[in-house]
A and B are shown apart, each in its own frame.
Chain A
Amino acid sequence: MSTALVELQGVTKIYRLGEVEVPALREVDLRVEPGDFLALMGPSGSGKSTLLHILGLLDRPSAGKVLWEGEDVTRLNGGRLAELRGRRIGFVFQMFNLVPNLTALENVELPLVFLGVSLRERRKRAEEALVRLGLGERLHHRPSQLSGGQQQRVALARALITDPALLIADEPTGNLDTTTGREILTIFSALNKQGRTIVLATHDPEAAEVAKARIRLRDGRIMGGTP
C-alpha cells in the first residue's frame, strides 16, 4: 500500500461544553491519496468542518492519529504544524476569511510572508495568481470593495500561492449565488485535473457532483462513500 497524503486513524474529537461532552467525530478512518478530489457531505453538525480542521492540522484529535505523508504529526508542536500548514496546505472557507485591512494582492502574499519569501518575489507570484483567476483589475482593492465571488477567488489565489499538496475547502460555495458558485466549482475541477488534491465539505449537491468521490458523515461517523 502506498503512503497516503493524509491519513486519519481512529480519529475522535470531543468538545467539552462545561459538564457536557459533545462528540464531533467518532473513530474516523480516512485516507486522502494524492490526486483525490473528495466531497464531505452530511447534515449540519455532522462533523464536516471538524474533520477538515483535523486534516488541515488546524486542530488536534482527542484520540487517534493523523499521518501526513506517513509521518505521525499528532503530537507535533504548534510551530511545526504552522510550518506544515504554511507549506503544504491551502484553505478556502465559506466566509472567505480575507484580512480586511489588506488589499487583494497583500492577502494573497500573506502565506509567503511567513515562509520568508522576499517582497519582490511575493508581489510577482501573487500578481500572477490573481491574474490567472481573472482578478488582474482588482489587485489593490480591499475585501470590502469586492463581490463575494471575487473575494472567494482571492481566497483561492491565496490558498494556491504556496503550491500546496492539499487544498481544503469548507463550503466554498455556501455564501455565493448559483452562478458564482458554479464558476468557483469549475476552477476546482480544473485544479484537480491538473493534479491538485482537494477535500471539500459541502451541502450543495452540485458541488458534490464535481468531486471524484463523496463521503457521507452523520453524527461524527463516516456512513460510507459513493464513488
Chain B
Amino acid sequence: MRIDHLSKFQDDPVSHLMDLENREVSVAALYDPDLYELEMERIFAKAWLLLGHDSEIPKVGDYVVRLMGEDQVIVARAADNQVHVSLNVCPHRAMHVCIADSGNTRVHKCIYHGWAFRPDGSFIGAPIEKEKMHGEIKSKEQLGLKQARVATLGGLVFATFNHDGPSLDDWLGEMKFYYEMLFCRTDNGLEVLGPPQRLTIDANWKTAGEQSACDGFHTLTLHGSLLEGGAMAGEENTEHESAPAMYGVNVSGNGHSLRCIPADTSWAMMAGKTHPGMTDDERLEMMPPPGITRELLPQVRRNLTAEQLHVFAKAPPVVGGMFPNVNILFVYAPLRDGTLGSALVLHSINPKGVDKFEWVTYFFTEKDASPEVKHMMRAAAAQLTGTSGIIEQDDSDTWPHMSEASRGFMGRTETLKYQAILGENRPADWPNKARVYSGFSKDDAQWNWWLAYHELMTSKA
C-alpha cells in the first residue's frame, strides 16, 4: 500500500471486499497483505483471544508461552495466584524474555542483558543495581512487560490488549449461556490432557476462522469418508438427503456460534435407535452429552440452570467456534468396542502472515472423569481431530487451496458466498438466547461471523 492510499484504506478497509446486501466476501480478503496488517490491529489486538486453560499452570510460577496474533505472550500464575498475561518482549531491547514453551520460575530473567521480571510482568531490576542500568529516565513501574487484560470462563484463559473494550462477558453476550454447557458444567470443571499440538497451515487464518462458525454443509462432502464409513449416518448414495446430523439448531451471537445436534439424532446415529417422548432427565441418563459420564450427571444438574439443562438434554452444542479464531469440537467418538466415547477439543487459529497460520489443538476432559475415561478421550481426540485426526486432516488440506486460489488475479475477483439462508426460527421450547436457526445447517451463522469481522474492521481505535 502506497502511503497516500493508506489513510483512505484505513477509513474504509472492507467495503470493497464485502457485499453486505448479497452476503459475499471477495476472495481478495484472503490475499491482501495490507488488510492482514489492519486485521492484526483491529481484530487481534482488540478481540478476546483464547490462550489455554488454567489447569496448564496450576502452581505459582508456572507459565506457558502462547500467541495473540503474531505476538508471543507469557501466561503465568503469579504470587497473587492469579493468571497474568504479559507480552514476551523485553522492554529493554526486544529480546524474548521467555525462550522455552513452558516451565516454572519466580523470576523471568532476560538472557540478553539480564533485566528481570516477576510472573505478573512487573520489573524487578537490571543487573548491577548500583550502576542503574535501566537508567533514571523511566521508573521501574514503567519498565514492566506490557500487560494484557485477562478473564476466564470455566478455567479457559482469555486475554485482550484492548484495555478499554468490552468485558469477556459482554464480548460473549448471550452465547455465554451455551458455552457454559461446555465449559462450566461440573464442580471442578475441565482440565487439559497435556500441552497442545501445533502445526503450520499454508493458508490465510480466515479460511479456518469462518469455517469454525458452523459450516455444517462441508461435512457432507469434505468429510464424506466418514459418511461412507457410516459415522455420520448417511447412506452413501443418498448421503445428501439422509444425513440427519445436518438437521439441528445453530445458535449465533456477536460472531460466535455453536451447532446443537438433537440427542435423538445422535442416538439414531450412534445406537441405531430412537427414544421419542422421553423427559430431559431420561435423555441425559440414556446418552449423556459428549464428555459427560453418568457419574457426572449429578454435578451437571447442579451446575447448569433449568433452561440450560433442557437444551443440554434435548440438543447439546457439539461444534462451533468463538469469534475470531477458536474452533470447538465437543463430540461423540464411536469406539471400536462398540461403546461410545467422546473428544473435547478446542483449536486456536493463529495468524503467521497473510498466507500462514498456526493451528493449535487442545485436548480436554472433565477433571472429575476417571483415569480410564481420560485415557480413552486422549486417544479419541488425537484420532479424530488435530494433526492426524481423520476428520480434520481433510480440512487442513483444503484451506491452503483457498489461499493459493486468492493469489490469482482472476481468483481474487471471485467471492465467498453465504447465500443459503435459513433465517431465525426458534423452536417453541428453546430459550430466547442469541440468534436461533433451527433446521438444516445453512450459512446464517457464518455470515454473522463476517458481520462481526466487518464491525471490528470498520471501527477505528
A associates with B: no
